[in-house]
């Protein structure tokens, strides 16, 4: 158990819909990262938050957005969903002074 | 740009065989290097890491040595078990420590 939690574990929805994925980092970790794992793109960095502020953006679509709340949990919002958004979405957190990221169990999103 | 290259899979072995999964990297400076493992239906778990040249990371019988001269971080295990069947990812941190991953190598171990 990494200490990073993600909900829900599975999500099935239809094209055009909007979903929210939730992540709670390890206790005390200020940095949260979101990654997407798909068959054709592999593991791709989406976005990073640090103590409530956006720190870095990767290959994140404009239809996707994220935020980190004062209690440090983070949410990834995916809107106008397309079939190609079906993937496993991981959250990771990192402690200050280290470069090691610990991953949550992921949310499997299926868009029908 | 920075990148990680892993050997193509799947790697198919019999139990107790020796395992090598190749990983090479391109990066400026000398970043830490990681191996993560993803068991079927599960998330990514940190397997081992090395923080500087000639460091050896080890865990659960797996080892990897940070080779600066060959820019490599090959994963090895002397005797694999069926329970080691998983996908293995080599990774390095860049910029604000986002991870760049290799494509992953699937290992299948048969009894």
DSSP code string of A12-40: EE-TT--EEEEEEPSTT--EEEEEEEETT
Q: Does A35 contact B42 at a Cβ distance shorter than 8 Å? A: no
pLDDT for A32 equals: 97
pLDDT for A62 equals: 95
Taking 3-state DSSP, the helix, strand and coil percentages for chain A, each rounded to the nearest 5, stand at 5, 55, 45
pLDDT digits (tens, 9 = 90+) for B2-12: 899 998 889 99
Contact A103/A4 with Cβ under 8 angstroms? yes
- Assign A83 to helix, strand or coil: helix
Angle at A51 between CA A50 and CA A54, to 5 degrees: 45
Beta-carbon count within 10 A of B10 CB: 11
pLDDT for B9 equals: 85
Contact B4/B53 with Cβ under 8 angstroms? no
Confidence at B79, pLDDT banded by 50, 70, 90: very high
pLDDT digits (tens, 9 = 90+) for A5-35: 999 999 999 999 999 999 999 999 999 999 9
Name the average pLDDT for chain A: 95
Residue A30 contacts B, CB cutoff 8 Å: no
Residue B30: closest CA among B48, B56, B50: B50
Residue A93 contacts B, CB cutoff 8 Å: no
Q: Does A58 contact B98 at a Cβ distance shorter than 8 Å? A: yes
Angstroms from A39 CA to nearest CA on chain B = 10
pLDDT digits (tens, 9 = 90+) for B14-23: 999 999 999 9
Q: Does B98 contact A33 at a Cβ distance shorter than 8 Å? A: yes
pLDDT for A23 equals: 98
Q: Does A101 contact B95 at a Cβ distance shorter than 8 Å? A: no
Q: Return the residue of B nearest to A33 by Cα.
A: B98
pLDDT digits (tens, 9 = 90+) for B16-60: 999 999 999 999 888 899 999 999 988 999 999 999 999 999 999
Question: What tens-digit pLDDT sequence spans chain A (112 residues)?
Answer: 889 999 999 999 999 999 999 999 999 999 999 999 998 888 999 999 999 999 999 989 999 999 999 999 999 999 999 999 999 999 999 998 888 999 999 999 999 9
Residue B9 contacts A, CB cutoff 8 Å: no
First to last CA, chain A: 31
**Residue B37 DSSP symbol:** E
Residue A33 contacts B, CB cutoff 8 Å: yes
Query: Given the DSSP bridges, would you call strands A5-7 and A19-24 parallel, antiparallel or unpaired?
Result: antiparallel
pLDDT for B96 equals: 63
Contact A10/A75 with Cβ under 8 angstroms? no
pLDDT for B1 equals: 82
Percent of chain B with pLDDT over 90: 82
The CA radius of gyration of chain A, in Å to the nearest whole number, is 13
Q: What is the dihedral of CA B111, B12, B63, A38, to 10 degrees?
A: -120
Q: Does B97 contact A94 at a Cβ distance shorter than 8 Å? A: yes
Instruction: Give the residue from A47, A60, A103 with the most B CB atoms within 10 Å of its CB, the best one to mutate.
Output: A103
């Amino acid at each position: 158990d990494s200490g990073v939690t993600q909900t829900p574990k599975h999500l099935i929805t239809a094209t055009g819909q909007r979903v929210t994925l939730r992540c709670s980092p390890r206790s005390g970790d200020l940095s949260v990262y979101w990654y997407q794992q798909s068959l054709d793109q592999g593991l791709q960095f989406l976005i990073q938050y640090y103590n409530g502020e956006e720190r870095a953006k990767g290959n994140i679509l404009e239809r996707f957005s994220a935020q980190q709340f004062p209690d440090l949990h983070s949410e990834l919002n995916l809107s106008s969903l397309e079939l190609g958004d079906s993937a496993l979405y991981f959250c990771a957190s990192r402690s200050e002074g280290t470069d090691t990221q610990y991953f949550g169990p992921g949310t499997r999103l299926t868009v029908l | 740009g920075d990148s990680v290259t892993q050997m193509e899979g799947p790697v198919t072995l019999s139990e107790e065989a020796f395992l090598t999964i190749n990983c090479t990297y391109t990066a400026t400076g000398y970043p830490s290097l990681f191996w993560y493992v993803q068991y079927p239906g599960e998330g990514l778990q940190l397997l081992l890491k090395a923080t500087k040249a000639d460091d050896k990371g080890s865990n659960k019988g797996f080892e990897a040595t940070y080779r600066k001269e060959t820019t490599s971080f090959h994963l090895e295990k002397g005797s694999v078990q069926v329970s080691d069947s998983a996908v293995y990812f080599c990774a390095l941190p860049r910029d604000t420590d986002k991870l760049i991953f290799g494509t992953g190598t699937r290992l299948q171990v048969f009894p």
